[in-house]
Amino acid sequence: MSVKEIFIGIIILCTISSCGVKKYLPTGETLYRGSKVNITKMKGVKESKRNLRKKLSSTIHPKANKFILNQPYKVWWWFVIGEPKRKKGFKVFLREKLGEPPVLSSRIKPTSIAENMQALLENEGYFHSIVEGDTTIKKYYTYAKYNTTIFPQYTIHSIVWVSDGSRIMKELQSIQEDGSLINVSDGYSLTNITNERSRLDLKLKTKGYYYFNPNYLMAYVDSTIGGNQVDIMLNMKHETPDSAKFPYAINSITIYPNYNLLAKTKDTILIPSVVYDSLIIKENDKFNPNMFKRVVTYRPHSTYDITEQNKTLNRLINLGNFKFVKNVFSSVPDSMGGSHSLDAVYYLSPSKKKSFQGQIDGFSKENKFIGTLLSLNWKNRNVFKGAELLTIKAYGGLEVSYADSLKKNNNFRAGSEASLTFPRFIIPFLKIKESSFYTPHTRMLLGYEWFRKQGFYTKNVFRTQYEFNWKETANKEHSLAPIAISYINASNISQDFLDEAASNPAILTNVYSEAILGSFYSYTTNTKNQNFRDLWYFNGSIDLSGNIMGLITGANNTREKTILNTPFAQYAKGDIELRYLKKLKPTIHWANRLQIGASIPYNNSNMLPFSKQYIIGGSNSIRGFRIRQLGPGSYLPTLQDQTYYFIIGGDYKFLLNTELRLPIVGNLSTAFFIDAGNIWTKDTFLFGKAGQIKKDMYKELAVAGGFGVRYDFKILLIRFDFGTPLRKPFLPENDRWVFDKIDFKSGDWRRQNLILNIAIGYPF
C-alpha cells in the first residue's frame, strides 16, 4: 500500500467518523471540542504567559476528547461498538481500550471553572485578577473560552511570630528561620504556606512533639499595607491541646515478634517476655534478640523522633521475615502529670519460614537459539534466628539452534548455587554501628555450572563471592565484593574442535582453563522524585582481578604465572552508564542512554575472560544488528566464529541510544529510535587489526534506526522493535553509510536488514 493510499484511507475514516458522531449525540447536545485561555498581563506581572496558562489550564475539567485531523475518532468508535450486554468481554475491551465516551456540552461549566481559576490566582498572590468564562457553538462542537486579566503578584514584606514565649513557640520560630519555604521578598503563595506548616510539623516531630499536627498552626495575612505587599503573622491556635505542646520521651519499647492478626488477644501481662538491651521482647522463640538490638535504632529514655521511628519500621520491613509490621505509640498514664512519656509497641507477623518454588522458562535468543530452563529454588528464612536467608538453587536447560549453519551445535547446562544473606555487615574483626534508614546485607555465594557445547567441549565453572550491599539513601546504592573468585576448567574437547584449531589457533581461547581472582565495586544513583520532568540515572563500577597475585608472582607475560596450576586473569575494568529521560508531555517521553566500558588486560592476560567481555547488538543494544554479528571494530564475524566462539566480544565498548516514546491507544504505545556503538579488542590475537581499538575508532561506529510497538500489561511490558542498519562498520570506509541501499520492497533486503527484536521491558 502506498503512502498516498494510506493518506486517502485516513481522510475517508475521519470523514466517516465526523458524520457518524453527529447522529449519535443526544438532542440538544454538542461535543466539547476544548478550551482556550487568553491572558492579559497588567504592568508588573513577571511570570510568563506560558507558565500562567499552564497553571490555569490545570483547573479545566473535563478534558476534551482526542481528535485526529479535527475528527473525534475515538468517540466514533465508542458509538459504533455500542453498549455491551455484559460487564466483561471482548466487546467491552474494544470499547474501553480503543474508544472513549463523548464529553458533552452539558458537562461544561465555564462559570465554575472561571471561579476556580480566580481562586488559584488568589492563592498564588495575584490578588484582584479577573477571570471570565464563556462558550461558543460551531456546528456540533462547543468551545470554551476564558479571558483573564492578571494583576501583579503580591510579595512578602515581613514574617512575624505572635509568640507567648513558650518552649514550643521558640522551637517553631527557630525551625522556621532555618530553611523556610516562605521568605521576605518572595511571591505570596498559599501552597508554600501550607507546605511550610507541614515542614514545621515534621521538624517538631524530630524533637519529641509526637501529638502535634500542622492544623494547629495558623497564618494570618495582611494585604492592606500597600505596595502590592503582605505581612504574614504566624501563631499557634488557641484550641491546641496541651499534649501537643510538650516533647515526649520514650518510656519503653515492646516487641511482639510472633504476632498473629487472627488470633484472640491475650492478656499482655501473662505473655512471657525477656528484656534485651532495654527492649522488651514478648513470646519469642524464633528470633535471636540480638537482631532486634541492631534493627531498632532508638532506646528508652531517648526523645521521640519520627525519623528514628521510620528508620526502625523500614529496617523491620526490609528484613524480609515479616508479612506485617505495625507499631503503636501510646501515652504513659501519668504523662499529664508532667513526665510526658510514650510506650512504643511493635507487632510483627512472621512470614513462612521455608518455601519451595519451581520455574520453567522458554526463550528465544537473537543468535538463533531457542531453549528452555528449569530451576528449583528452596528458601529458608531466619535460618540462624537472625533473619538470615539461605537459598539453594538447582537448574538445568538446553539451547537448540534453528540456523542451518549451527545445527548440532546445541548447548546444555546444569548447575547449582547456594547463597546465605545476612541483614547486616559481616566483616571479620570489625563491628559497624547500623543506624541508617536501610538494612545493609552481606551475601556469601557458592556455585557450580556444567556447560556442554555439543560436539566441541565441556566447561566446568566454579564460583564463590562475598559481597556487601547497602543503601546510602533512597536513591543511592552501593555494592562491594572484596572477594569474587571464578575457576573455569575445560574438558572433553572433541577432535573436530582440535582440527579446526589447527587452522585457527585463536579458538583455543574457548578452552583455556583460567582463574579469576576478582573484586568489584558498583555505585548507583538516580533522580529521587520520579515525578520530575527530567530523570537521571547513573551507574559506575570498577572490576579488578589478579592485581595482588600479579605483584606476588611477578607476572609479565601472557598466561605465564599460575595459581594451583591454572593461569590467572589480570585486568582492570571500569564501566559507566548514564541515562536521561525527559517527559515532554505526561505520555510522551524522550529516553537516552550512554554506556562506556574500558578494560586493561595486562601482564598475565592479553584479553578479558569471556565472561567479562563486552558484547554488542541485540534487543537491548544496537537493534539493527543481531548479537554475534557485529564487531569488534570493522571485523565481520564469520559463520566459523559464530560456531566456535563462546561469545564474540571485546575489551572496550561504546553505546549510545535515543528513542522517542509515544502513546497510541490505551496501553499500546510506539517508539522511534536510533542506536550507535561498537566494541573493540586490545590485542590482535582473536580478530586481527580489524577488531583492535584505534585512535579513529569513531569511524567504526555502527548505527541503526527503527521503530517499536509496545504493550503494557502493567505487570510486564512486551516490546517488538524493528531495527535496520544505517551504518555498517565492516564495509569499506567510504561505503559504510547505507541509507541509499534501503529497499523495503525487496524481500532479500528485508531478510538481511530488517531485524525483529522481541523482549520484555524497556531497553533502558
Q: Which secondary-structure segment (H or E) carries 542?
A: strand 534-545
Instruction: Give the type of residue at 100.
Output: E
pLDDT on residue 721: 96
DSSP 611: G
Q: With a cut of 70, list the residues of the chain below it in pLDDT.
A: 1-20, 263-270, 335-338, 363-368, 402-408, 435
Task: Specify the 3-state DSSP secondary structure of 314.
Answer: helix
pLDDT of residue 4: 43
Q: Which domains does the chain have, with CATH numbers?
A: 3-37+53-109+125-149 (no CATH), 155-245 (3.10.20.310), 249-350 (3.10.20.310)
> What pairs with residue 341 in β-bridges?
249
Q: How many CA atoms lie within 13 A of 16 on its CB side?
A: 11
Tens digit of each residue's pLDDT (9 = 90 or more) over 555-573: 999 999 999 899 999 999 9
What letter does residue 218 receive in the DSSP assignment?
E
pTM: 0.84
Per-residue confidence (pLDDT) for residue 19, from 0 to 100: 53
Task: Name the CA radius of gyration of the chain, rounded.
Answer: 34
For 568-651, list the strands marked E by DSSP. Answer: 571-585, 588-601
Q: What does the pLDDT read at residue 381?
A: 93
Partners of residue 707 on adjacent β-strands: 672, 722
% of the chain residues with pLDDT over 90 = 74
With b for 16 or more beta-carbon neighbours within 10 A and e for fewer, the 561-582 pattern comes to bbeeeebbbbbebebebebbbe
Question: Would you say the C-alpha torsion 398, 364, 610, 692 has a positive or negative sign?
Answer: positive
**What is the amino acid identity at position 351?**
S
Cα(247)–Cα(168) distance, integer angstroms? 9
Instruction: Assign 733 to helix, strand or coil.
Output: helix
- Biggest CA–CA distance in the chain, Å, is 97
Q: What is the 3-state secondary structure (H, E, C) of 634-668?
A: CCCCCHHHHHHCCCCCECEEEEEEEEEEEEEECCE
pLDDT in tens, 502-515: 988 889 999 999 99
∠ CA 281-283-286, nearest 5°, is: 90
How far, in Å, are 95, 458, 641 from residue 504 at the CA level? 62, 19, 10
How many whole angstroms separate alpha carbon 409 and alpha carbon 402? Answer: 10
Q: How far apart are alpha carbons 467 and 481 in whole angstroms?
A: 4
688 touches 635 (CB < 8 A): yes
Which residues fall within 8 angstroms of residue 742, CB to CB, at 6 or more apart? 724, 749, 753
